[in-house]
Structure 1
Amino acid sequence: PGEGPADGSGAVARPAAPPASLSPSRAADFMQCPLLYRFRVIDRLPEKPSEAATRGTLVHAVLERLFDAPAAERTVPRAKALLPGQWDRLRQARPELVELFADDADGERLARWLAQAEQLVERWFTLEDPTRLEPAERELFVEAELDSGLRLRGIIDRVDVAPTGEVRIVDYKTGKAPRPEYAESALFQMKFYALVVWRLKGVVPRRLQLVYLGSGDVLTYDPVPADLQRVERKLLALWEAIRQATETGDWRPRPTKLCGWCDHQAHCPEFGGTPPPYPLPLVRTGP
Structure 2
Amino acid sequence: MPRRLFSATPSKLATYADCPRRYRFAYLTRPTPPKGPAWAHNTVGAAVHAALRSWWELPLGKRSPAAARQLLYGVWSRTGFRDDEQADRWRSRAAGWLTDYVGELDPAEEPVGTERTVGATTERLALSGRIDRIDQRGDELVVVDYKTGRVPSTEDEARGSPALAIYVLGVRRTLRRACNRVELHHLPSRTVAVFEHTERSLANHVRRAEDIAADIETATEALAAGADPDVAFPPVTGQQCSWCDFRPSCPAGQAAVPARETWSFLAEETPPAE
Q: TM-score range by the shorter chain?
A: 0.7 to 0.9
- The residue matched to 2:171 in structure 1 has which SS? helix
**Are the counterparts in 1 of residues 118 and 130 from structure 2 also a CA contact under 8 Å?**
yes
- Partner deviation per Cα, 1:161-216 (whole Å, 9 max, x = no partner): 23x4311110101112246665544x322111112223334544131111012332
Q: Please state if 1:158 is matched with 2:144.
A: no
- The residue matched to 2:107 in structure 1 has which SS? helix
> 1:86 Cα shift?
2.7
**Are the counterparts in 2 of residues 173 and 212 from structure 1 also a CA contact under 8 Å?**
yes
In structure 2, how many angstroms separate the alpha carbons of the residues matched to 1:32 and 1:82?
34
TM-score (norm 2): 0.76
Q: Please state if 1:220 is matched with 2:194.
A: yes
| Residues 232 and 20 (structure 1), Cα distance of their counterparts in 2 relative to 1, 3 Å cut | closer
Of the three residues 242, 250, 263, the one matched with 2:216 is: 242
Q: Please state if 1:259 is matched with 2:241.
A: yes
| Residues 83 and 136 (structure 1), Cα distance of their counterparts in 2 relative to 1, 3 Å cut | same
**Are the counterparts in 2 of residues 204 and 225 from structure 1 also a CA contact under 8 Å?**
no
> 1:55 Cα shift?
1.5
> 1:243 Cα shift?
0.5
**Are the counterparts in 1 of residues 129 and 167 from structure 2 also a CA contact under 8 Å?**
yes
Of the three residues 138, 153, 163, the one matched with 1:189 is: 163
> 1:111 Cα shift?
1.6
- Partner deviation per Cα, 1:34-56 (whole Å, 9 max, x = no partner): 21122212223343321111221
Give the 5 Å matches for 1:87-126.
87=76, 100=80, 104=83, 107-125=84-102
Of the three residues 11, 34, 47, the one matched with 2:20 is: 34
In structure 2, how many angstroms separate the alpha carbons of the residues matched to 1:123 and 1:41?
39
Q: What stretches of structure 2 of length at least 5 have no aligned partner?
A: 224-231, 256-274
TM-score (norm 1): 0.73
| Residues 99 and 211 (structure 1), Cα distance of their counterparts in 2 relative to 1, 3 Å cut | closer
| Residues 32 and 132 (structure 1), Cα distance of their counterparts in 2 relative to 1, 3 Å cut | same
Residue 33 of structure 2: aligned partner: 45
In structure 2, how many angstroms separate the alpha carbons of the residues matched to 1:178 and 1:123?
18
Residue 69 of structure 1: aligned partner: 58
Residue 14 of structure 1: aligned partner: none
In structure 1, how many angstroms separate the alpha carbons of the residues matched to 2:153 and 2:241?
19
Q: Please state if 1:79 is matched with 2:61.
A: no
| Residues 82 and 183 (structure 1), Cα distance of their counterparts in 2 relative to 1, 3 Å cut | closer
2:168 counterpart letter in structure 1: A
Q: Please state if 1:129 is matched with 2:117.
A: no
Residue 264 of structure 2: aligned partner: none
Of the three residues 118, 121, 125, the one matched with 1:142 is: 118
- Partner deviation per Cα, 1:120-140 (whole Å, 9 max, x = no partner): 3134247x4143531011100
- The residue matched to 1:210 in structure 2 has which SS? strand
Identity %: 30
**Are the counterparts in 1 of residues 154 and 193 from structure 2 also a CA contact under 8 Å?**
no
- The residue matched to 1:194 in structure 2 has which SS? helix
**Are the counterparts in 2 of residues 194 and 204 from structure 1 also a CA contact under 8 Å?**
no
Q: What stretches of structure 1 of length at least 5 have no aligned partner?
A: 1-18, 92-97, 274-287
In structure 2, how many angstroms separate the alpha carbons of the residues matched to 1:179 and 1:197?
22
How many residues of Structure 1 are paired with residues of Structure 2 in the alignment? 239
| Residues 70 and 235 (structure 1), Cα distance of their counterparts in 2 relative to 1, 3 Å cut | same
| Residues 225 and 201 (structure 1), Cα distance of their counterparts in 2 relative to 1, 3 Å cut | farther
Higher relative contact order structure (alpha carbons within 8 Å, sequence separation ≥ 6): 2
- The residue matched to 2:114 in structure 1 has which SS? strand
> 1:72 Cα shift?
5.1
In structure 1, how many angstroms separate the alpha carbons of the residues matched to 2:122 and 2:140?
23
**Are the counterparts in 2 of residues 146 and 199 from structure 1 also a CA contact under 8 Å?**
no
> 1:61 Cα shift?
0.9
1:153 counterpart letter in structure 2: S
- The residue matched to 2:7 in structure 1 has which SS? coil
